[in-house]
Amino acid sequence: MEQVAGQAVPPKIEVRKEKTLNQSYWKRYGVFYLMMAPALIVLIINNYIPMVGSLIAFKSMTYASPSFFQNFVDSPWIGWKNFEFLFNSSDAWLITRNTLAYNAVFIVLNLVVGVALALMFHNLRNKKLAKFYQTTMFLPYFLSMIIVAYLAYGFLNPDIGVMNKLILPWFGNEEGVMWYSDPKWWPLILPIVNTWKFIGYYAVFYLAAIIGIDNEYYEAAHIDGATRWRQVWTITLPLIKPVIIILTLLQIGRIFYADFGLFFQVTQNAGALYEKTLIIDTYVFQGFRATGDIGMSSAAGLYQAVVGFVLVFASNLIVRRISKEDALF
Amino acid sequence: MATAAVNKKKFDVNRISGGANFAINVFFWIYSALCIIPLLLVISVSFSDETSVLVGGYRFWPEKWSLESYKFLVSDYMVIVKSYGISIFVTVVGTIAAMLIMTLYAYPISRRDFKHRNLFAFIMFFTILFNSGLVPFYLVYKQGLHVDDTLFVLMFPLFVQAFFVFVIRTFFQNQIPPELLESARMDGAGELRTFFQIVLPLSLPVLASVGLLCTLNYWNDWFLSLLFISDDGPVSIQFRMYKTLLDIQYLSSNTQAYSAIMQANPNFKVPSETARMAMGVVGIGPIIFVYPFLQRYFVAGLTVGAVKG
C-alpha cells in the first residue's frame, strides 16, 4: 500500500523522468496512440475532412472529375456570392424564423411539461404503478421518426384519418382539414408531436434531480407546517434550479439545429407546408437533393454551422459558470 | 430510481393526500393512454378489412377483422426478411465496432498520467462544437469515397460519437481506481492487457448503457439510408418503412396510376391502407418487445449522460 500512495508523483519529477527516459515514455505510452488511431481515422473522414470541405460554400463547384477531392481543388473561388444569393432570397429569413421559433417553443414545453411531469411522478404513492407509467411515458422516445410519421399519418390522413373521420365530426366539422396541404395547423401539430416523443426523456432528467434532494429538507418544512404544495415552490423547484438552467441552456445552445426527422418525416416533406415547416436542416437537404443547388445549400449549411458554433460556445461558457461538471468543456 | 423508492418508504410524512394522489393517478393513466393509443391505432388498422377502413376510416378497434394485409406482405416476404437481416447486421456489427473504437479512444484520454490527453480530448470535443454541415459530409462519402449503397456507409458515420466517448471517459476516470492500474503495471501487464482484462470488465455498467443507446441509434437510423442508399442498395427495415409510407400513398393519391392498375386487372386490389400499417407493425415489432426489458438500462444511460464531466 505504501508504494501505491507514492504513486501520485508530482509533475516536476515526471517531466525530468520523461526527458532522461524518453524511450521508456514511448515504450509505456506508445500503445495509447495506436489505441486511439481507429477513432482518429473515423473523425478525420467523418468530421475533419468535411469541415475543410465546408469551404465549398465559397466556391462554384464543378464536376469535371468523378472525385470530390479533385473537384474541390479545381473549382474556382467565388467569395461570398453563394451567401449573397441565400440572404437575398426570402428563404434565409423563413428558415431562420422557423428554426428559431419552433425550437424556442420546444424548449419552453420541454421545461414546463418536463418539470411538471417529474414533480407529479415523484409524488406517486404506488411505486409499481409509477414504474408502469414511466415505461409507457418513455416508449415514444424509442420509436424512430419513421414510426412517428406512421402514427401521425394515422391521425392526419385526410381521407380516412382519425382526425377527419372521428374527432372533427364530433365537433361538428364534417369537411375535415387537408392536413398535408394546409400549413396553418403545423405550428400546433409539431410541438405536440415533439413533446409527445421527447418529454419522457426530459422528465427523467428532472426526476433524477428531484430524487437527489435530501429528505431532511422536507422533514424540516413539514415540522414548520408547510403544505406539500408550498414545499414544491420553496424546496423542490429552487433545489433543481441548476439542473433546469443547465438543461435549458444546453438546448438553447443547439437552437440553430432542428430535428431533421421531425420536420422531414412527420410532415412527409410536403412542399405545400414549407412556409410553416421548412427549417435550416431540411432546406439544406432539399437544396442539394431535390434542386441540386450545392452552392446555396452549402452556404446555408455553413451559416448554420458558424452561428451554431457561437451559440454552443456561448451557452457552454454560461453553463460552466454555473456548474463546471455539467459543461461540455 | 430504485433507491428513491426505498427512501420514500422509510419516511412518509410527506405523503400527499388521497385526493391529490387519485388526481395524479388519473392524469398518468390518461397520459399513458396517449402514449400507447397511436400504436394501437396502427395495429388495429393493420388487422382490419381494407374496404371497411376505406369506408369507415381508421378505427382503434377493427370493424371487421382481416389478415389480408399481412398475407399481402407475406406474398413478398423475402423483401422484409432481407431488410430485417440488413438492419440486424448493421446494428450488431456497428454497435460492437463502435463500442470498441470509442472505448479504445476513451481510455487514454481518461489517464491523468498521459501527457497528450487534453489534446486528444479536444480533437474529439471539437466535433461537438463545429458541425461541418450536410453537403460536404455527403460529398465526401458519395463522391470522395464512393461508398454509397454499401453496408459500410450505414455503419461508419456512427462509429464515433463524441458525447458517448466523454461519458465512457468520465466513467473510467471516476470508477477505475488508478492504484489498480498501477498494480497491474507492477505485475507486468501491458497497457492493452490492462485495458481489456481489467478496465473493460469493471466498466460493464457504462458499456451496457452506451451500448444500448448505440444499438438504438443504429436500429432507428434512416437518415444515412436517405442520403446514400438507392432502391438497389441495402434497404434497412426503417428505410423500407419510409418507402412504403411514400409508395402506397403515391398509389392512392395518384388516381391515374391507380386506375391504370385497375384497368390491367379489375380484380386486383392492393390492401394499401391496411398493408401500409401492417408494414408499420412489422417495423415497430422488435423495439416494443425488447424495450420493456432494456428500458432500465436506457434510463441509466441517459442519466449517466446528464452528469458527465
pLDDT digits over B284-301, tens only?
888 788 887 877 777 776
Supply the pLDDT for residue A227: 84
Inter-chain Cβ pairs, chain A and chain B, closer than 8 A: 309
Residues of A within 8 A of B249 (CB-CB) are 268
Amino acid at residue number A260? F
A138 versus B262: which is more confidently predicted?
A138
Supply the pLDDT for residue B232: 82
What integer is the mean pLDDT of B139-168? 93
Using the Cβ of A147 and the Cβ atoms of chain B, whether some distance falls under 8 Å is answered with yes
What integer is the mean pLDDT of B271-276? 82
Give me the residues paired with residue A65 across strands.
none
What span, in angstroms and rounded, lies between the C-alpha atoms of B6 and B151?
47
Query: Phi/psi zone of residue B277: left (φ > 0), alpha (ψ -120 to 50 degrees), beta?
Result: alpha
What lies within 8 Å, CB to CB, of B119 at 6+ separation is none
Compute the residue count for chain B.
309
Supply the pLDDT for residue A94: 93
Could you confirm whether domain A89-326 is CATH 1.10.3720.10? yes
Q: Which of B21, B32, B129 lies at the smallest CB-CB distance from A309?
A: B129
What integer is the mean pLDDT of B202-212? 89
Question: What are the sequence ranges of the domains in chain A?
Answer: 12-54, 59-84, 89-326
Supply the pLDDT for residue B12: 55
Which sign does the torsion angle of CA B106, B112, B115, B121 carry?
A: positive
Report yes or no: B81 and B231 within 8 Å, Cβ to Cβ.
Answer: no
Supply the pLDDT for residue A125: 80
**Which domains occur in chain B, in start order?**
50-305 (1.10.3720.10)
Put simply, the chain A residues between 282 and 301 with a CB less than 8 A from any chain B CB are 284-285, 288, 294, 297-298, 301
Put simply, the chain B residues between 54 and 93 with a CB less than 8 A from any chain A CB are 54, 56-60
Supply the pLDDT for residue B309: 33
Residues of B within 8 A of A290 (CB-CB) are none
Closest CA to A239 of A265, A255, A216, A263: A216
Using the Cβ of B179 and the Cβ atoms of chain A, whether some distance falls under 8 Å is answered with yes
Report phi then psi at B300, rounded to 5: -60, -45
pLDDT(B183) > 50: yes
Closest CA to B226 of B127, B132, B148, B131: B148
Using the Cβ of A317 and the Cβ atoms of chain B, whether some distance falls under 8 Å is answered with no
Residues of B within 8 A of A113 (CB-CB) are none
Supply the pLDDT for residue B6: 46
Put simply, the chain A residues between 220 and 279 with a CB less than 8 A from any chain B CB are 222, 228, 231, 243, 257, 260-261, 265, 268
Residues of A within 8 A of B35 (CB-CB) are 136-137, 139-140, 196, 200
- Winning range, highest mean pLDDT, from A318-327, B48-57, B68-77: B48-57
Put simply, the chain B residues between 109 and 138 with a CB less than 8 A from any chain A CB are 109, 111, 113-115, 120, 123-125, 127-138
Nearest residue of A to residue B188 by CA position?
Answer: A28
Supply the pLDDT for residue A2: 39
Closest CA to B90 of B204, B250, B236: B236
Q: Which three cell numbers stand for residue A37?
A: 488511431
Q: Mark yes or no for CB contact B277/A67 under 8 Å.
A: no
Closest CA to B182 of A17, A6, A34, A23: A6
Nearest residue of B to residue A320 by CA position?
Answer: B309
Closest CA to A134 of B206, B292, B289: B292
| Total-model pTM | 0.86
B48 versus A127: which is more confidently predicted?
B48
pLDDT tier at B66 (50, 70, 90 boundaries)? confident
How far from A84 is each of A58, A97, B266, B307, CA to CA, in Å? 11, 18, 56, 43
Residues of B within 8 A of A28 (CB-CB) are 191
pLDDT(B87) > 60: yes
Q: At what angle do helices B204-220 and B162-175 cross, to 10 degrees?
A: 170
Report yes or no: A279 and A258 within 8 Å, Cβ to Cβ.
Answer: yes
Supply the pLDDT for residue B137: 93
Q: What is the mean pLDDT of chain B?
A: 83
Closest CA to B122 of A301, A275, A43: A43
- Which of the residues in chain A have pLDDT under 50? 1-11, 13, 18
Question: For B99-121, how does the pLDDT look when each residue is reduced to its tens digit (9 = 90+)?
Answer: 999 999 999 999 988 989 999 99
Report yes or no: B229 and B297 within 8 Å, Cβ to Cβ.
Answer: no
Put simply, the chain A residues between 17 and 76 with a CB less than 8 A from any chain B CB are 18, 28-29, 31-33, 35-36, 38-40, 42-43, 45-47, 49-54, 56, 66-69, 71
Pick the residue of B47, B135, B146, B229 with the most A CBs within 10 A to test the interface with A by mutation. Answer: B135
Q: Mark yes or no for CB contact A46/B157 under 8 Å.
A: yes
Match 441552456 to its residue by C-alpha cell: A249
Q: At what angle do helices B162-175 and B77-110 cross, to 10 degrees?
A: 50
Residues of B within 8 A of A304 (CB-CB) are 131, 133
B256 versus B291: which is more confidently predicted?
B291
Q: Which three cell numbers stand for residue B54?
A: 376505406
Q: Which three cell numbers stand for residue B222?
A: 434512416
Furthest-apart CA pair in chain B: how many Å?
Answer: 82
